[in-house]
């Protein structure tokens, strides 16, 4: 066989470990492997590199991706110049198929999140043999218990929450730590629990301003003159929408969330008798070396992807379920986001240790 690999969407720790896992496993089968540069751009523009054993040696510890990535190179609505433009997206999927055939490829491995895998599913429906690998720090893909990149991002966020504790306590301040996660609150929830956050605000549990103020004042009355608020970038009030930082034309998900932490600081201003400070973690959560768990998980994903290719089980995505690797349909993975349930055990755990979710209607 001859296979192609691409990494699409936002970068995250563990991408290189997957590329290594797929490549090394494929080479043992005697296959030829090429890597497309910058996600689907490489497939559309026929920009690729040959991957040999020495090309992937030692990359398991590196963050990012040696292939490069793009979250705007959608072959069905291509906006990258010179073949497309943001004002007039073009459907260049036929060109992608043409390149696939000219390169004499037998299959494509698409490594990415919801957007990348949605495109992979579209290509598969039109006849391209595709296998998907789930990647996102947001941990919001259905049909898998966890995605690689999430544990590394969680580690960074938890360390940040740990570090602001001393400053908050020393200065009697409220410090608001804003995490990534888009429409899912997994990073905020677990870093808030692990870091001992006093208030956790999630997209899945709309907050009430009066309940946030009350939670801080209740702590103050108990002699705790500081508070740590961990807020997901997609958090929103009960009667309002998410905070949009900007809109990126041509992206599969054009809304860039961010800035809700400043709104929380504003609603606390003058009402609690304490100063507020904001820490927006942003892309620092995506960078750096992957954790040991993400290296292990990503390697397992890569090897399982090669197994699916060998079995010609196309249209499937590698899934991690009950500490085992399996294959599920890509359609099942991208059909619905995996979100935090307000009644989940993790939420009840946080409530049981006195954490507020900014909404008194969430019962213990």
For the 2-148+288-334 domain, the top CATH level (class) is alpha beta
Q: Which secondary structure element, helix H or strand E, spans residue 7, and what is its range?
A: strand 2-7
Asked if pLDDT for residue 58 goes beyond 70, the answer is yes
Distinct helix (H) and strand (E) counts, the chain: 12, 13
Compute the average pLDDT of residues 71-76: 90
Asked if pLDDT for residue 271 goes beyond 90, the answer is no
Q: Where are the domains of the chain?
A: 2-148+288-334, 153-287+341-352
Strand runs labelled E in 85-143: 107-112, 130-134
- Domain 2-148+288-334 matches domain 153-287+341-352 at the CATH topology level: yes
Q: In the numeric block, which tokens belong to residue 193?
A: 């629990």
pLDDT tens digits, residue range 124-176? 999 999 999 999 899 998 889 999 999 999 999 999 999 999 998 889 889 99
Predicted model pTM:
0.91
CB 175 within 8 A of CB 280: no
CATH topology of domain 153-287+341-352: Rossmann fold (3.40.50)
pLDDT tens digits, residue range 222-269? 999 999 999 999 999 998 887 777 676 656 666 667 789 999 999 888
Strand runs labelled E in the chain: 2-7, 32-36, 48-50, 107-112, 130-134, 173-179, 199-201, 227-232, 244-247, 255-257, 275-280, 316-321, 324-329
Compute the average pLDDT of residues 46-74: 94
What is the rounded average pLDDT for all residues in the chain? 92
Q: What is the pLDDT of residue 249?
A: 66
CA distances from 43 to 10, 101, 186, 189 (A): 17, 11, 32, 37
Return the active site residues: 138
Q: What is the pLDDT of residue 181?
A: 85
* Residue % of the chain over a pLDDT of 90: 77
pLDDT tens digits, residue range 296-355? 999 999 999 999 999 999 999 999 999 999 999 999 888 788 999 999 999 999 999 999
Asked if pLDDT for residue 364 goes beyond 60, the answer is no
Compute the average pLDDT of residues 66-83: 92
Q: What is the pLDDT of residue 118?
A: 93
Q: Tell me which residue has tokens 């005697």.
A: 30
């Amino acid at each position: 066989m001859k296979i192609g690999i691409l990494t699409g969407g936002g970068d995250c720790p563990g991408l290189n470990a997957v590329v290594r896992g797929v490549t090394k496993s494929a080479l043992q089968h005697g296959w030829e492997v090429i890597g497309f540069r910058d996600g689907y751009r490489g497939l559309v523009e026929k920009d690729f590199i040959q991957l040999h054993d020495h090309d992937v040696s030692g990359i398991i510890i590196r963050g990012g991706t040696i292939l490069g990535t793009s979250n705007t190179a959608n072959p069905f609505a291509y906006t990258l110049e010179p073949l497309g433009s943001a004002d007039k997206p073009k459907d260049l999927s036929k060109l992608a198929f043409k390149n696939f055939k000219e390169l004499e490829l037998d299959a494509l491995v698409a490594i990415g999140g919801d957007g990348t895998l949605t495109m992979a599913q579209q290509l598969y429906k039109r006849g391209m043999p595709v296998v998907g690998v789930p990647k996102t720090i947001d941990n919001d893909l259905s049909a898998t218990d966890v995605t690689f990149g999430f544990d590394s991002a969680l580690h960074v966020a938890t360390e940040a929450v740990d570090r602001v504790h001393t400053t908050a306590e020393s200065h009697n301040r409220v410090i608001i730590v804003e995490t990534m996660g888009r429409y899912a609150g997994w990073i905020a929830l677990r870093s808030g629990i692990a870091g001992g956050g006093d208030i956790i605000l999630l997209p899945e549990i709309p907050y009430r301003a009066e309940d946030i103020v009350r939670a801080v004042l209740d702590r103050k009355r108990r002699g705790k003159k500081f508070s740590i608020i961990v807020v997901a970038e997609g958090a929103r009030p009960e009667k309002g929408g998410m905070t949009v930082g900007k809109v990126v034309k041509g992206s599969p998900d054009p809304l860039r969330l961010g800035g809700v932490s400043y709104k929380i600081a504003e609603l606390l201003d003058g009402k609690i008798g304490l100063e507020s400070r904001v820490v927006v973690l942003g892309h620092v959560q995506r960078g750096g070396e992957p954790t040991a768990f993400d290296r292990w998980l990503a390697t397992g994903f890569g090897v399982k992807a090669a197994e699916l290719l060998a079995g010609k089980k196309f249209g499937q995505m590698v899934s991690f379920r009950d500490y085992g690797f399996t294959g599920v349909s890509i359609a099942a993975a991208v059909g619905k986001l995996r979100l935090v349930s307000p009644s989940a055990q993790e939420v009840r755990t946080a409530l049981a240790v006195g954490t507020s979710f900014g909404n008194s209607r969430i019962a213990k």
